[in-house]
């Protein structure tokens, strides 16, 4: 290809697609290169036997009026193209002792919890009092928009942060689970308060934010499935004259005198761009795509992209977010929303003695309860998920060979059946109604997204970690978009950083 694009975007995750939409809207010639066969990265769905399964995402925050995704879709002229339905009730917890359906609205949720756990009334009040103060600080912080501040303004902002946002500063590095354990004695209530954040080791600030999402019912599902969001963005991008190449992998980012100047694909095609935005995995971007590829005719000493060693050390050292093991089931069961245990998203804590040490809990998503279109009439799509940290390292150490390995397939089958067994404790007839079954391990998530170790949301959200990369990089004309540049990662983060990558591009061009 002889043409030089204004912008080349590596990856069509939500971050890459959002950046592409803003840039194409401004008339910049923009090319997205995606290694997979369809847009979306983590935000994709697949079909089996008449069922549509979301590969990962269960619900998305910030899609309602006033939410950042709502705002971005409006700016792109896409409001109304995606029909978001609210996921209600937003939090359902099932244990061997009981079932807890947390109602919408903070005061109603509080009253419900105090009613179910009368001896913990004081602890509940104190937990939600603190949660409310932190959430207020967070709203003020977003209004101050520290990410947009440059140079001296940012240094000043950081120095005065503890004075302006005292509650947040105090609880930013404190684990939410520890705060819960300090305030609450009942093990059932402890589980409920902690599971709202899904990720187990988050800070009290993050846990507070998740509770804000739950109590304000800020959880949405796009009708038609998660793929709908990615498809709408990809279609609009093409309508704006943007170009997308699917099933083409970027092998190198080409640099010259400390600046990015294009990409080379795995089939050796070279394409030039004035600005390169990487929506790909952060470690891959800097440790593989920018790695010197040795001497050549036009560069006798090999390319040296000059990335500070500290930057690379951080990338190797920072913990990744957890990956998951998922089982996708198409079942011919009668389930009615709100009846028995049939809710769109359920968290189940199995008895340890029945299942060994892994996992502590599973999530069960039944999107067909709020979107009939994802399953044939009278049937349901059931997705069971569990954090996979600690159980898949061995297979990654075998590299890609793991996929062909019969032992790997056996391991995957065994884990899938144990998760189905656990879900069968919530829905006793489940197994006998299975018509379609698929499974995804962290290796599968890695294969489809190239995210390191199948990481689900960029860097770890653990209270002690919470890292993020700047969207500007040490390489001139190379920017980043996506969940590696925001903490917590997730779909809203991908949207926001995509928009910001487009703003930064405008400053360069």
Ligand X SMILES: Cc1cc2nc3c(=O)[nH]c(=O)nc-3n(C[C@H](O)[C@H](O)[C@H](O)COP(=O)(O)OP(=O)(O)OC[C@H]3O[C@@H](n4cnc5c(N)ncnc54)[C@H](O)[C@@H]3O)c2cc1C
Binding site for ligand X (CB under 6 A): 10-16, 33-36, 41-43, 56-60, 249-250, 279-281, 284, 324, 445, 449-451, 456-457, 482-483, 489-491, 494
DSSP H helical ranges for 342-472: 352-355, 393-397, 406-426, 442-449
| Nearer to ligand X (CB atom), residue 284 or residue 460 | 284
Q: Which residues contact 148 (CB under 8 A, 6 or more apart)?
A: none
Q: Least distance (Å) from ligand X to the CB of residue 384?
A: 12
Q: Least distance (Å) from ligand X to the CB of residue 304?
A: 20
Q: Least distance (Å) from ligand X to the CB of residue 293?
A: 14
Query: From the CA atom positions of the chain, what is the Rg in Å?
Result: 23
Q: Which residues contact 72 (CB under 8 A, 6 or more apart)?
A: 18, 495, 496, 498, 499
| Nearer to ligand X (CB atom), residue 240 or residue 480 | 480
| Nearer to ligand X (CB atom), residue 36 or residue 123 | 36
Q: Least distance (Å) from ligand X to the CB of residue 56?
A: 3
| Nearer to ligand X (CB atom), residue 17 or residue 110 | 17
| Nearer to ligand X (CB atom), residue 456 or residue 505 | 456
How far is the C-alpha of 183 from the C-alpha of 174, rounded, in Å?
Answer: 14
| Nearer to ligand X (CB atom), residue 130 or residue 320 | 320
| Nearer to ligand X (CB atom), residue 123 or residue 261 | 261
Q: Least distance (Å) from ligand X to the CB of residue 285?
A: 8
Q: Which residues contact 401 (CB under 8 A, 6 or more apart)?
A: none
| Nearer to ligand X (CB atom), residue 189 or residue 289 | 289
How far is the C-alpha of 42 from the C-alpha of 54, rounded, in Å?
Answer: 9
CA distances from 114 to 103, 120, 195 (A): 13, 7, 18
| Nearer to ligand X (CB atom), residue 280 or residue 329 | 280
77 close to 360: Cβ distance less than 8 angstroms: no
Nearest C-alpha neighbor of 17 from the set 1, 3, 30: 30
How far is the C-alpha of 195 from the C-alpha of 229, rounded, in Å?
Answer: 26
> Which DSSP string do the residues of 445-461 spell out, in sequence order?
HHHHH--GGG-SSSB--
CA distances from 127 to 137, 208, 316, 388, 465 (A): 16, 9, 36, 29, 23
Q: Least distance (Å) from ligand X to the CB of residue 300?
A: 27
| Nearer to ligand X (CB atom), residue 427 or residue 445 | 445
Q: Least distance (Å) from ligand X to the CB of residue 53?
A: 11
Produce one character per residue of 80-100: b if its CB has 16 or more CB atoms within 10 Å, e if not: ebbebebbbbbbbbbbeeeeb
212 close to 145: Cβ distance less than 8 angstroms: no
Q: Least distance (Å) from ligand X to the CB of residue 485?
A: 8
Nearest C-alpha neighbor of 18 from the set 59, 65, 56, 74: 74
Token digits of residue 289 = 């795509």
Q: Least distance (Å) from ligand X to the CB of residue 169?
A: 26
343 close to 337: Cβ distance less than 8 angstroms: yes
Q: Least distance (Å) from ligand X to the CB of residue 166?
A: 29
How far is the C-alpha of 430 from the C-alpha of 231, rounded, in Å?
Answer: 32
């Amino acid at each position: 290809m002889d043409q030089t694009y204004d912008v080349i975007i590596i990856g069509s995750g939500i971050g890459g697609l959002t950046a592409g939409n803003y840039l194409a809207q401004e008339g910049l010639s923009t090319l997205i290169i995606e290694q997979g066969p369809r847009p979306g990265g983590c935000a994709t769905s697949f079909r089996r036997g008449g069922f549509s399964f979301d590969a990962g995402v269960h619900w998305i925050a910030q899609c309602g009026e006033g939410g950042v995704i709502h705002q971005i879709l409006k700016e792109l002229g896409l409001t109304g193209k995606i029909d978001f339905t609210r996921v209600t009730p937003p939090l359902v917890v099932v244990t061997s002792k009981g079932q807890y359906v947390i109602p919408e609205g903070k005061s109603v949720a509080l009253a419900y919890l105090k009613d179910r756990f009368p001896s913990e009334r004081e602890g509940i009040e104190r937990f939600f009092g603190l949660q409310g103060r932190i959430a207020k600080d967070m709203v003020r912080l977003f209004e101050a928009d520290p990410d947009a501040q440059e140079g001296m303004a940012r240094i000043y902002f950081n120095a005065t942060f503890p004075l302006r946002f005292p509650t947040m500063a105090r609880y930013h590095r404190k684990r939410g689970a520890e705060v819960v354990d300090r305030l609450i004695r009942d093990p059932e209530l402890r589980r409920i308060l902690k599971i709202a954040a899904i990720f187990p080791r988050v800070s009290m600030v993050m846990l507070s934010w998740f509770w804000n999402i739950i109590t304000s019912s800020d959880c949405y599902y796009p009708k038609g499935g998660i793929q709908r969001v990615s498809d709408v963005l990809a279609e609009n991008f093409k309508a704006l004259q943007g170009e997308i190449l699917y099933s083409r992998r970027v092998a190198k980012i080409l640099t010259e005198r400390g600046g990015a100047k294009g990409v080379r694909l795995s089939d050796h095609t070279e394409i030039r761009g004035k600005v390169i935005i990487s929506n790909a995995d952060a470690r891959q971007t800097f440790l593989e795509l920018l790695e010197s590829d040795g001497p050549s005719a036009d560069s006798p000493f090999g390319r040296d992209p000059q990335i500070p060693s500290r930057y690379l050390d951080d990338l190797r050292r920072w913990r990744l977010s957890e990956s998951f093991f998922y089982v996708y089931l198409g079942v011919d069961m009668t389930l009615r929303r709100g009846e028995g245990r049939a809710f769109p998203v359920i968290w189940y804590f199995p008895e340890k003695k029945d299942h060994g040490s892994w996992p502590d809990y599973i999530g069960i998503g039944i999107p067909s309860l709020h979107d009939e279109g994802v399953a044939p009439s009278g049937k349901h799509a059931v997705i069971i998920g569990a954090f996979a940290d600690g159980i898949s390292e061995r297979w990654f150490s075998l590299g890609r060979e793991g996929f062909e390995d019969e032992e790997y397939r056996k391991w995957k089958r065994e884990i899938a059946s144990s998760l189905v067994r656990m879900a069968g404790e919530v829905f006793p007839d489940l197994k006998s109604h299975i018509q379609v079954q698929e499974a995804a391990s962290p290796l599968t998530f890695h294969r489809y997204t190239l995210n390191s170790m199948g990481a689900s949301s960029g860097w770890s959200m653990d209270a002690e970690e919470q890292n993020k990369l700047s969207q500007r990089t040490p390489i001139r004309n190379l920017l980043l978009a996506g969940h590696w540049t925001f903490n917590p990662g997730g779909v809203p983060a991908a949207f926001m950083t995509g928009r910001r990558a487009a703003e930064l591009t405008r400053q360069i061009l």
